[in-house]
Chain A
Amino acid sequence: MSRADLASGQVIRMSLLFRVQHLVLTVLLLILAVTGFSLMYHDNALAQAIIRLEGGVHNRGIVHRIAAVLLMANVAHHLFYMLLSREGKREFQDLIIGRRDIDDFLQSLRYNIGAAAEYPLFGKYGYKEKFQYWGASVGTVLISITGFMLWAEEFSMRLFPKFVLDLALVVHGYQGLLAFVILFFWHLYNVHLHPSVFPMNPSWITGKVSAEWLRREHPLEYEKLKEEGLL
């Protein structure tokens, strides 16, 4: 955090590395969604047009698998970074789900219907962010495993009965749909439409948020930074 940032009330929320990981993830997920859903909904005229645009089912598959491998590389890099680097370890601590998150969630509900006086105080990541992060993580693992099973079908056929592959196909498709739903209804709302950030939380590009926003939305993190003398 430079002095200029602090002077203008800006706080770093996403380091450059995380911004790159996030951007790579965004692009790859979009490619995977377009190539994947066009196959899942191949009866649909739009899906058929997309498949033709991608050069047929064969090429579509190649694009999908290249994107998938890159995505898994991105996720693997993220995993190692989170477990091994100093910055990653700190972030990981902030992301662990505890009893407190459930309490925060319930309190926010009570607060919104007027049954509680105080809105819960969040650290760097509140229950919304943690739900998003861990939901995406579990989803990625599931969709990667099933994806590999379907990709290496000759290998899978040796190991599994056919119904396992049938299930893998269903899980792969619906897990994709689930990820898509979470991203659109949850993530995009929280980072674009939520009144505190509308029209956009800029941190995914600039990496920075205003100190005032942090004080209001993540007061515990604000206090922590202040104690550490970073604000």
Chain B
Amino acid sequence: MRRHHLAAAVIAAAVLFAAGNALAATPGVGECMDCHGDKTIEKSLPDGKTLSLYVDLQEYRQSVHGGTSCVTCHADAKAPHDKLGKVSCSKCHGDAEKSYAGSAHGKKLRTKEASGVPGCDGCHGRHDIRKVKDPASRVFRLNIVATCLACHKDRALEARYHHLPDQKLIAAYEQSVHGLASKKAGLTGSAVCSDCHGNHGILPADEPKSATHRQNIPTMCGKCHAGILEQYEKSVHGKGMRGGIADSPVCTDCHGEHTIVRASDPSSPVNLRNIPRTCSGCHEKEGITSRYALPKKRFSSYMDTFHGIAVEYGMTKAANCASCHGVHDILPSSDPASSVNRANLQKTCGKCHPNASPNFAKGVVHVEVSPKKAMGVFAVRLFYTIFISALVILFVLHVGLELYGRWTRRRAGAQSGKEGKP
């Protein structure tokens, strides 16, 4: 029995010792708060500034990690301790860390000159991290814009990193239809930064893998605007884009990106008044019309019609490009399903002009005036131009001749001393 007692005592001592050692090596939250619960605790930095080391316990307890312990993240923390190693989130959040490492932020963070580049804490916070769906989270849908703009609206930061997009352009999002929908109307369904740009794996738009690279834009917008994407995919522009034609317009070419506003807004490129100029941005461009063998003079020939002039002066009831050609579903006139296919013209014109007869729809519409495309108009114009010019020349000749005749007679009359015929 005695031997048993001894063994028990030895084991108990060993356990107690080990436990004591363990307590000294991994402090509990309470022990950490002995120091870090003090609001005045701070550390001096080499540049003379001070860094507060205070941790708000209540904030931490309410955070998504509130149920864990300090050492879960600060694994090397002892009490007391010197400067701790960097916190790595990858132990638990491996996927996020991996996609972040390949992102523009991640790559920049690894360079030497990096300062102000957001790591995990830059967006998610530190001790106060909350779930994405928690309205108090910094990355909650309605808060994320403010989180991104905290840096991307900063002019100093823009100056430091030359590849950063113009802060004014980014900030224009706040006044956009998406920005107002989330900020003013409080809609969580409206697009925020991360919906288009992605989150951890964010990349600049010129990288093919970027969510905002040209070739990915329709799919990206289509995440929300699925019905529009479906129409677009069938259109000449969508097919061209999917076929690898980089000039073929994607959503942002017509609608803008950060500046997107409602089509009813006069500043929108797809406002009824602005549509002709927006479309002709490509369709009046010599390079594009020649390269893809498109009809030329789309804008000027339209502007010479009553429709064009009326729209230019604000009579938006008049037809703009989209009224006849369609919007997201534009098809070439050669396609039997196109609204401007010869067979469908009467119906298309008839939307506004119910009396348009099949006979009416036979003519060509806003083509360049050339003998090949519009012989009648070309010939009549030419006739009048020549006729009027000739008439002006003949008038001037007649007047000159008459004055010359009067002048010579008068001189002759004066010389012979007789009254010349006036």
User: Cβ of B396: which chain A residues have Cβ within 8 Å of it?
Assistant: 185
B208 at the interface (CB under 8 A from A): no
**Are A170 and B355 in contact (CB-based, < 8 A)?**
no
Assess whether A58 is interfacial by the CB under 8 Å rule.
Answer: yes
A187 to chain B, nearest CB (A): 10
B387 contacts the other chain (CB 8 A): yes
B residues within 8 A CB of A174? Answer: 380-381, 384-385, 388
Interface residue from B380, B381, B403 paired with A195 (Cβ < 8 Å): B403
Closest chain B residue to A109, Cβ basis: B401
Kindly provide the distance from the CB of A95 to the nearest chain B CB, expressed in whole angstroms.
20
A217 to B353, CA, bound (A): 56
Given contacts A157-B353, A163-B374, A167-B380, A182 and B401 within 8 Å (CB-CB): no
Interface size on B, residues (CB 8 A): 43
* Chain A, residue nearest B312 (CB): A42
Residues A163 and B404 in contact in the complex (CB < 8 Å), given A57-B309, A158-B357: no
Q: Return A132 CB to nearest CB of chain B, in Å.
A: 11
Does B359 lie at the interface of the complex (its beta carbon under 8 Å from any beta carbon of A)?
yes
Q: Which residues does chain A contribute within 8 Å of B312, judged by CB atoms?
A: 42
Interchain CA distance A211-B353 in the complex, whole Å: 60
Binds B, one of A66-74, A84-92, A111-119, A223-231: A111-119
**Chain B: CB-nearest residue to A51:** B313
Query: Are the C-beta atoms of B392 and A185 separated by less than 8 Å?
Result: yes
Q: Judging by beta carbons under 8 Å apart, are A157 and B355 in contact? A: yes
- Whether the Cβ atoms of B313 and A166 lie closer than 8 Å is no
Task: Give how many A-B residue pairs fall within 8 Å (CB-CB).
Answer: 111
Determine whether A133 belongs to the interface, using a CB cutoff of 8 Å to chain B: no
Report Cα–Cα, A119/B399, bound state, in Å: 15
Q: A157-B357, A161-B362, A181-B392 are in contact. Are A56 and B314 (CB under 8 A)?
A: yes
In the bound complex, residues from chain A placing their C-beta under 8 Å from that of B96 are none
Q: Collect the chain A residues with CB atoms within 8 Å of residue B381's CB.
A: 170, 174
A153 close to chain B: CB less than 8 A: yes
Q: Is the CB of A186 within 8 A of B313?
A: no
Q: Give the contacting residue for A166; candidates B361, B374, B387; CB below 8 A.
A: B374
Contact between B363 and A166 (Cβ–Cβ < 8 Å)? Answer: yes
A221 to B387, CA, bound (A): 33
Check if A80 is an interface residue, CB within 8 A of chain B.
no
The answer, yes or no, to whether B360 is at the interface (CB within 8 Å) is yes
Decide yes or no whether A192 CB sits under 8 A from chain B: no
CB contacts (< 8 Å) of A153 on chain B: these are 353
Q: How far, in angstroms, from A194 to B422 measured CA to CA in the complex?
A: 12
Asked if A39 is at the interface (CB within 8 A of a chain B CB), the reply is yes
A56 touches B315 (CB 8 A): yes
- Chain B residue at minimum C-beta to C-beta distance from A175: B384
Q: Quick check: is A12 within 8 A (CB to CB) of the other chain?
A: no
Assuming the contacts A171-B380, A185-B396, asked whether A114 and B405 have C-beta atoms less than 8 A apart, the reply is: yes
Within 8 Å of chain A (Cβ to Cβ): is B395? Answer: yes
Any A CB within 8 A of the CB of B43: no
B406 touches A195 (CB 8 A): yes
Binary per-residue interface labels of chain A (16-55) against chain B in the complex, 1 for a CB within 8 Å, 0 otherwise:
0000000000000000000000010011000000010000
B401 near A112: Cβ-Cβ < 8 Å: yes
**A181 touches which of B310, B314, B388, B422 (Cβ 8 Å):** B388
Q: What residues on B are CB-neighbors of A216 within 8 Å?
A: 422
CB-CB under 8 A from A160, the residues of chain B are: 359-360
Q: Which 9 A-B pairs have the closest CB atoms?
A: A162-B363, A112-B405, A174-B384, A185-B395, A57-B313, A163-B363, A157-B360, A161-B362, A112-B401
Interface of B toward A, CB cutoff 8 Å: 303, 309-310, 312-315, 349, 353-357, 359-365, 374, 376-377, 380-381, 384-385, 387-388, 391-392, 395-396, 399, 401-406, 408, 421-422
29 A-B pairs within 8 Å (CB atoms) are namely A42-B303, A42-B309, A51-B313, A57-B309, A112-B405, A113-B401, A119-B421, A154-B353, A154-B354, A157-B355, A160-B359, A160-B360, A161-B360, A162-B361, A164-B363, A166-B363, A166-B374, A166-B376, A167-B376, A170-B384, A171-B384, A174-B385, A178-B384, A181-B388, A181-B391, A181-B395, A189-B395, A195-B403, A196-B422
* A→B interface (CB under 8 Å): 39, 42-43, 51, 56-58, 108-109, 111-114, 119, 153-155, 157-167, 170-171, 174-175, 177-178, 181-182, 185-186, 189, 194-196, 216
